[in-house]
Structure 1
């Protein structure tokens, strides 16, 4: 049934059939994360980092109504040029994008769904979505969290985006039984900075330990994903006071303009980049590179078990 909707790139399909490591990648970072051609250059470099570390990259999107798991360079370039004209696509949007034959850039949630359809267990991204600031009134909670509770894919990230309410995000994950693993850290990373005020569930030091926990979880039929929180490298981390001030200004402007829902995260990230004179965007790119490397290492260990 899935074959009528799903296109798995031949290289990715061959790797899966041969038991080789594969790492899924999202596409909203291409369409909504940064301008062209920087978005395409970044996406291709992330793929190369995964290859250099012994795994096969599978960038995921929806193109002309087809679910794409693994994309050609031409397809990535097309997506990057189209930019924000491409629909930001979460779980609820997938059937409508497919039915219309439209283009969709996948979020963390929808990337997890398509990765699971193809049988990919490891996914590298920048930061997961979470509970937005003020959610007590707005109920603005990212679909990423519910997907992590239900879909068997491990997500390597630099924690939750620091524009969010990290405390409530942490509580939500705990309630849903989603394990939060700190890779060589006891504290939940806060995207642009290496630490927050919140602890992780388990600190693991090596990719093989992460892979062993993933295998045990899914072998026992324990449904849902796993957050692998990998701090941004020291040399690229931003000053906490600087980034907290920029986020506070961005959130105030967002509230003033009445922006919410799926538009809130792109607005906040763009505004923070503007306030920090591009330093936050540089940090974002570097942490994605760092996560791609770790994801490839974990995927290698996972298929070896």
Structure 2
């Protein structure tokens, strides 16, 4: 990885492709794209003693003296057509990341994803994060220095992204079950947001390959994703059994809805919109193999 620090609150980094990034259609999968966005040299949201050396992937859990961390409440990635129109096997991604909103205990960070060689825009993302005290598990006020040092011109949002309105789940929605294993969790034993998206992607692919959807009939890897949004609503830890319901959004069948539950509790909601006019989407993949 290569990092360009414009300031403590605005920086760029180049990465990829990583091992196992590519799906069966030779594209960087949406959850791996989210991993690229999450992997950063940003420790602004943690409190780390000055003697601790900051290195890539040095997370708060590994820093002695850390008292707070940030947890994602909502994430949205918008993928531009150019993302689907170029080979990904040697694609290096540049991510420009900055703070776009400051609240009392939460903040937003925006990301612009580009082709590192051509500077062509490929995707954009926004994350709404909550600053949490590790010991008490309660929201923690943002540092005063953030308000002093982050330029008001940089804050392009007056309020955090509110998410989406999920329609009621149909009785005949497809149900997909998965277990959270040790390879799915971080050092807190929590499942990462990117893997929540993977669970939903797997549920959608299984539903399509089981002929449970009207406009999708094979693995979602063969469809061009336009936008994915995920709302985190509950804790998911190692050993949990998750059930993911999948169905098509009424009156907009190019969008899939997902509700993730743990027992009777809803722990996450997701929506994925696909390009309806793409040559690889919406019943134009009849020649593709099933899962």
* Fold-level similarity (TM above 0.5): no
Which structure is higher in RCO with an 8 Å CA cutoff and minimum separation 6?
1
- Normalising TM by the smaller chain, what interval? under 0.3
Structure number having the greater strand percentage: 2
Larger radius of gyration: 2
Which structure's residues are more often helix, by fraction? 1
TM, length-normalised to structure 1? 0.25
